[in-house]
Amino acid sequence: MSNVWLITGSAAGLGRNIAEAVLASGDRLLAAARNIQRLDDLVERYPSQILPFELDVTDSAAAKAAVQAAVDKFGRLDVLVNNAGFGHMLPFEQTEEAAFRTEFETNFFGVVNLCRAAVPVMREQGAGRIIQISSVGGRLATPGMTAYQSAKWAVGGFSDVLATEVKPLGIHVTTLEPGGMRTHWAVRARGHDTPVMPAYEASVGMMFGVLRKIAGNENADPDRVAQVVLKVAAHPQPPLRLLLGSDALKYLTPVEADRADTAERWKSISTSVDVDASGPVPPLPQH
């Protein structure tokens, strides 16, 4: 029996690649997107397998309606892929409050809204898969990405906790953390005309240069990422988190090593605040 999927942001970027892979595999799909006209060719090719659904993931009522539409059309919901999201690179000081909130609402609360709608359905079924499309940026700190990366950090934490709650119910949660993918994300991230303040040229300005250089030359192939998504959805014991791309491994390895080293160097301070600790608080490390 074919699975029923719900993919957000399915009209473009990685969401489109996943949607095509799902349909080609013979599974059924509620394809959620802000502009469903961009899905017309898929509807033509797979008329009995796909249901386009216009969705703004920041609208919790619409998220519930999307899940219900999948159940009404196909009878169940097996796999939710929270893919919708975007990022803009700009110094925090120059990011307007409304813009920061909009980015966080989409990248984090959009995930929360869809999970809130899907979990009861999957609980009643006794089975389900939730796959979060996050980023290696959910474990890094990149200048200019305060809104995007703080939301992705939140997605990782939320998903880790949610996984502990729903695993006994037969629901698996996996957070995918890719590095760069050839999905035009880098172009959109720099798609504004706001000049960087001189004070941030050495940090955010430098990252703009990196972004320009990698745009169109990203490391990962989104079609191959989509195949991984299919395999993760079918795995009996999928990982809680999965880095995707050799660049993601390269970025994260030294960061994790530095965190471990810092924890070890400051261990005496960490343990010095215990109730049963003896003696004075030791001197702080000098490096």
| Contact criterion met (CB below 8 Å) for 42 and 253 | no
Q: Which of 135, 152, 159, 200 is catalytic?
A: 152
| Contact criterion met (CB below 8 Å) for 175 and 115 | no
Q: How many CB atoms lie within 10 A of CB 261?
A: 10
Which stretches of the chain are DSSP H helices? 13-24, 40-45, 60-74, 97-104, 110-125, 146-166, 185-189, 206-214, 222-234, 246-265, 267-271
213 in catalytic set: no
Q: Which of 10, 46, 135, 148 is catalytic?
A: 148
Q: Which residue has the tokens 């995007």?
A: 148
Question: If 0-12 CB within 10 Å is exposed, 13-18 middle and 19+ buried, where does residue 118 land?
Answer: buried
Q: Which of 10, 134, 135, 150 is catalytic?
A: 134
134 in catalytic set: yes
Helix, strand, or coil (residue 102): helix
96 alpha-carbon distance from chain centroid: 23
CA distance 51 to 77: 13
Q: How many CB atoms lie within 10 A of CB 169?
A: 15
152 in catalytic set: yes
Contacts of 102 (CB under 8 A, 6+ apart): none
Element (H, E) at 177: strand 171-178
Residues with a known catalytic role? 134, 148, 152
